[in-house]
């Protein structure tokens, strides 16, 4: 049975383990989860560097592991083309997208609601339609100020396990894995981006916080879209209305 990691300083452990140990640990976490949940396990693939590493690791565990992508009408063209490439290679990747009509400037006037409609709700739909009991993410505890307190195995929603198998990886180790395994990546990284999102809300930014270029100029700057902070089980949330 998959076990939750005891509460500990994830950042200290991230500095202690070497690259090979982290890869083995990540594979072990995914393997154990897949043995327990089987087809009810799914990888959330954001098409970012961390997600493609997790997807590659998952495929090493089993070619039958499923995944889902949440996209929006604001995604950069490079991301759209990369998504088509990945879905073409892996038909077991399902794409979810909100059909809700929203104001063009909602990302400026209410970025939280914009993310709720375009990202959080389709994620809930994916988890429900795919009957997911364990979803696998590319979260890393060294990625930014909002991601320091996560654990490798979590259960924020009752009956829904969240697995963060590369939580302990540093950014350089993600790129090391990509290079060693020839993993295709979104071409936006070659332009200087370190964290990817919707085009109006993502900028190139330097500094220790990889997510500093997200939602620049808003209260969400460097923060979260909501899929890692809001309830995802259908019986646990009330959707805010678009007024």
Q: Which sequence positions are flagged as catalytic?
A: 225
Which residue in 69, 49, 53, 196 sits closest to 126, CA to CA? 69
The kind and range of the H/E element at 176 are helix 171-181
Distance of CA 211 to the CA centre of its chain: 13
Task: Give 78-110 as a DSSP string.
Answer: HHHHHHHHHHHH-TTEEEEE------TTHHHH-
Q: What's the rounded Cα separation, in Å, for the pair 152 and 232? A: 18
Q: Is 97 helix (H, G, I), strand (E, B) or coil?
A: strand
Stated as kind and residue range, the H or E segment containing 70 is strand 66-71
Pairing of strands 66-71, 134-136: unpaired
Longest dimension (CA), the chain: 51
């Amino acid at each position: 049975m998959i076990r939750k990691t005891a509460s500990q300083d994830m950042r200290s452990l991230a500095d202690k383990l070497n690259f090979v140990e982290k890869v083995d640990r990540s594979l072990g976490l995914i393997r154990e989860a897949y043995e327990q949940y089987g087809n009810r396990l799914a990888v959330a693939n954001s098409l970012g560097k961390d997600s493609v590493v997790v997807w590659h690791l998952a495929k090493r565990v089993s070619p039958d592991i499923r995944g889902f992508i949440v996209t929006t009408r604001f995604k950069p063209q490079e991301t759209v083309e990369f998504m088509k490439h990945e879905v073409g290679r892996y038909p077991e990747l399902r794409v979810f997208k909100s059909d809700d009509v929203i104001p063009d400037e909602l990302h400026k006037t209410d970025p939280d609601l914009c993310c709720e409609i375009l990202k959080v709700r389709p994620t809930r739909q994916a988890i429900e339609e795919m009957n997911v009991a364990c979803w696998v993410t590319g979260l890393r505890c060294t990625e930014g100020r909002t991601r320091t307190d996560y654990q490798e195995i979590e259960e924020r929603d009752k009956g829904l396990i969240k697995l963060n198998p590369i939580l302990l990886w540093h950014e350089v180790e993600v790129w090391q894995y990509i290079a060693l395994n020839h993993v295709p990546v979104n071409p936006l990284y070659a332009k200087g981006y370190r964290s990817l999102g919707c085009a109006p809300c993502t900028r190139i930014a330097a500094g220790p916080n990889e997510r500093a270029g997200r939602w620049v100029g808003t209260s969400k700057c460097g923060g979260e879209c909501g899929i890692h902070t809001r309830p995802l089980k259908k019986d646990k949330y009330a959707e805010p209305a678009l007024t």
